[in-house]
Amino acid sequence: MLEITGLSVNYGTIRAVRGISLTVARGELVSLLGANGAGKSSTIKCIAGALKAAGGSIVLEGQDITAANPEQVIRAGLATVPETRDVFPDLTVAENLMLGAYIHRRDQAGNRQNLERLHTLFPRLAERSNQPAGTLSGGEQQMLVIARALMARPRVLLLDEPSLGLAPAIVERIFEMIETLKKSGLTILLVEQNVNQALAVADRAYVMRLGAIVASGTAEEIRSGSDLSAHYLGG
């Protein structure tokens, strides 16, 4: 479904991602783990088309999207929830959601249908449709950016640290929602610092360190790997 081969990302002379390869099969939930600065977000931004690859390739369902811009990537079927959790604060929840449906703006009936489905998944957002997004709690804003990404009707969803900075009860809800999305057949690449919870929902995982992948395997294998904490905490 998503095949990344030898991908590199540089910031000037800083080599943030150093030739990593990873795959996500259809319907799979794959977690990308690693300490702060490991290169996880750089990888996500590059797949999303927000950063240019310095080398390697990104192929989505057989289509080469390595040089695609963000809109082309979304049109190819891949949506991203970046770690910055940006909502348009002065726009209402409903307006924020409709922006996510930009590429389907001529299909209003389809968008209404998708919105109804998302309101079932995120009842809180339904209740707050007409409220400015800037007045939502942190957890609600995270739900909103995920729902907004889903308005693009992606087949693959990239999530960059959706649980970051949220209270444990809200984190629990986010992970439940991720499981629901997986059950619906969505293919997911999940970046997380919350290793235990990420491995609980993931089929497989990769561990990054200093721009490279240092471990990969099933969630079970990664969980039982004695070197995980060393890789993880070692930065």
Ligand X SMILES: Nc1ncnc2c1ncn2[C@@H]1O[C@H](COP(=O)(O)OP(=O)(O)OP(=O)(O)O)[C@@H](O)[C@H]1O
Residue 36 interface partner, choices Mg ion, ligand X, none, CB cut-off 5-8 Å depending on type: ligand X
37 counts as binding ligand X under rule CB under 6 A:
yes
8 counts as binding Mg ion under rule CB under 5 A:
no
Total interface residues for ligand X by CB under 6 A: 12
Which residues inside 211-230 make contact with Mg ion, applying CB under 5 A? Answer: none
The CA-based angle 151-157-158, given to 5 degrees, is 125
Could you tell me which stretch among 8-16, 64-72, 135-143, 215-223 binds ligand X (CB under 6 A)? 8-16
Distance between CA 60 and CA 92 in Å, rounded? Answer: 33
Dihedral of alpha carbons 69, 132, 117, 107, sign? negative
The CA-based angle 86-87-89, given to 5 degrees, is 125
Name residue 92's beta-bridge partners: 132
Which residues inside 83-122 make contact with ligand X, applying CB under 6 A? Answer: 83
80 counts as binding Mg ion under rule CB under 5 A:
no
Residue 16 interface partner, choices Mg ion, ligand X, none, CB cut-off 5-8 Å depending on type: ligand X
Give which of 93, 99, 194, 105 is closest to 142, Cα–Cα: 93
Instruction: Decide whether 41 or 216 has the Cβ nearer to Mg ion.
Output: 41
At 139, list the tokens. Answer: 């957890």
DSSP string across 22-44? EEE-TT-EEEEEE-TTSSHHHHH
At 67, list the tokens. Answer: 């040089």
- Report in angstroms how near the CB of residue 76 gets to ligand X at its nearest: 22
- Report helix angle 138-150 to 93-100, nearest 10: 30
Identify the residue among 42, 111, 197, 216 touching ligand X (CB under 6 A): 42
Identify the residue among 2, 7, 16, 78 touching ligand X (CB under 6 A): 16
The answer to whether 161 touches 192, Cβ cutoff 8 Å, is yes
114 counts as binding Mg ion under rule CB under 5 A:
no
41 counts as binding Mg ion under rule CB under 5 A:
yes
66 counts as binding Mg ion under rule CB under 5 A:
no
Chain contacts with Mg ion (rule: CB under 5 A): 41, 83
Chain contacts with ligand X (rule: CB under 6 A): 11, 14, 16, 34, 36-42, 83
